[in-house]
Amino acid sequence: MKHLFKTIAALAAFALPAVAQEMRTFTDDLGRVVTYPVAPQRIAALHDITLTVPLLELGAEVVASQGRPGPDGAQMIRAGLLLTGQDFATGEIIDLGNNPVDIEVLTKVQPDLILTSSWQQADVAQLEQIAPTIVIDTQSGLRNDFALYDLLADLTGRQDALASQKARYDAQIAQLRRVAGDGPRLVSAFHAQNGDLSVWNPYSSFGKVLRDAGFTFPDLIGTIPEGTSRQLSAEHLPALDADVVFVSYRSDRGEVPADAHAELENALPGYCAYLTACQRGRMVLIPREEGWATSYVGLTMIAYAMTTALGTLDFSSER
């Protein structure tokens, strides 16, 4: 009987944290006041590259994620493997489908917090019946990618991990500044897509790294509202010229640098004649995935790539 009482007491003690779990409130980007666990243990993230990747990087307890088809047709977390070493095939993260996510699968996961975005089409009223649901505006420019990262660290109590990520990034930026020196400072970053030019302000992590390192951008980029993008006709290409031009390609779809050239050629035949950076060998082709996720690992990778590129380009004609 004594052993029975001890067992019951132990089970009761084990159950206490779930019963007495500390809660907090947060007003999300739809103006909804959401009450959720201070230390969530089963997070479902409904956008892979802007929510899942940074949450995994912060060490948050992600149990399920939105995903998308990879080059081989299998579902993947975009940039997840590159930046965090985690994907559906390598861990215990449940694939929720794409957009909208599969509500039935999500229900079975039993999350204690759902983080979704303005991009995700799953009905919020359905989501909040499953678990506390926080909606984050990832499209209007309300906050930039790394203000979003700060928010995710706060929501999940991972501020210490965030501080470490920022310290490493600051060291990378200092190195980039040293290597770039006092040479040409005008840079540009964009890509061609379906016959147009996709131009962002800033151009995801690529633009953030360059801006933080003290570079400036063509005036055309400055006319785009912060945190948003425009699809411009190819006739705008000369206005995007700079001392160095960075053009990205979709490595997650199996693309290579030649595909970026082909996209530009499709948008404007003979495009190189319109860019002095291209004519002088200063157009740098770079994979998009490492620089498109909301990721401090991605930032440091981009900073290293740009440090390497700027250290090898020839600027002697300007001196």
Q: What is the radius of gyration, based on Cα positions, of the chain?
A: 23
Q: Find tokens 């994620």 and name the residue.
A: 65
Confidence (pLDDT) at 21: 78
Confidence (pLDDT) at 145: 80
Interhelix angle 159-180/204-212, nearest 10 degrees: 60
DSSP assignments along 21-64, one per residue: --EEEEE-TTS-EEEEESS-SSEEES-IIIIIHHHHHHT--EEE
Cis peptide before 202 (omega within 30 of 0): yes
List, run by run, the mean pLDDT of 10-residue segments along the chain (319 residues).
38 42 95 97 96 96 96 91 94 94 97 96 97 94 88 97 96 94 85 96 94 96 93 97 96 92 97 96 94 93 94 74
Contact 241, 197 (CB under 8 A): no
Alpha-carbon gap, residue 307 to 283, rounded angstroms: 14
Q: Is 42 left (phi over 0), alpha (psi -120 to 50) or beta?
A: beta
Confidence (pLDDT) at 9: 40
Q: Give the largest Cα separation in the chain, rounded.
A: 90
Q: Which domains does the chain possess?
A: 2-157 (3.40.50.1980), 165-314 (3.40.50.1980)
Contact 82, 48 (CB under 8 A): no
**244-249/283-287 β-pairing:** parallel
Q: DSSP label at 216?
A: B
Alpha-carbon gap, residue 66 to 102, rounded angstroms: 9
* pTM metric for this prediction: 0.84
Q: How many CA atoms lie within 13 A of 263 on its CB side?
A: 21
**113-117/43-45 β-pairing:** parallel
Contact 99, 120 (CB under 8 A): yes
Chain centroid offset of residue 192 CA: 20
Alpha-carbon gap, residue 256 to 313, rounded angstroms: 21
Alpha-carbon gap, residue 282 to 312, rounded angstroms: 10
Q: How many CA atoms lie within 13 A of 207 on its CB side?
A: 24
